[in-house]
Amino acid sequence: MTDAEQALWKLLRRKQLDGHRIRKQVPIDQYIVDFCCLDARLIIELDGGQHSESAADSARDARLQSQHFRVLRFWNDDVLKNPEGVMQVVLKALEAKP
């Protein structure tokens, strides 16, 4: 895992988000997503600069959304510099189950 993924995992693991179980490196369809809460159908992806305006990421998100998953994407820098803000967005998304 990258530094950003390790930092986020420390915040997500052990049901620290109101009891939601988050898993890391989850295989879904032909992809392996960074983090996922299966009950909430929420995927959390962390991206570095190589993902800027990526057509492959857009196609991947569309495929996952067609399977009724919601996809949150954060820049690695956001996780490392503003972990509290990232966690607020994740918690809000978890509370808004589809």
Report the pLDDT value the prediction gives residue 18, as an integer from 0 to 100.
82
CA distance 28 to 43: 10
Which pLDDT tens digit goes with each residue over 69-93? 999 999 999 999 999 999 999 999 9
- pTM for the whole structure: 0.90
Query: What is each CA distance from 7 to 22, 31, 66, 69, 87, in whole angstroms?
Result: 14, 22, 29, 23, 11
Higher pLDDT, 97 or 23: 23
CA distance 55 to 8: 25
Alpha carbon distance, N-terminus to C-terminus of the chain: 29
Which pLDDT tens digit goes with each residue over 25-69? 999 999 999 999 999 999 999 988 655 566 888 899 999 999 999
Q: What residue ranges define each of the domains in the chain, with the CATH number in brackets?
A: 3-95 (3.40.960.10)
Report the pLDDT value the prediction gives residue 1, as an integer from 0 to 100.
84
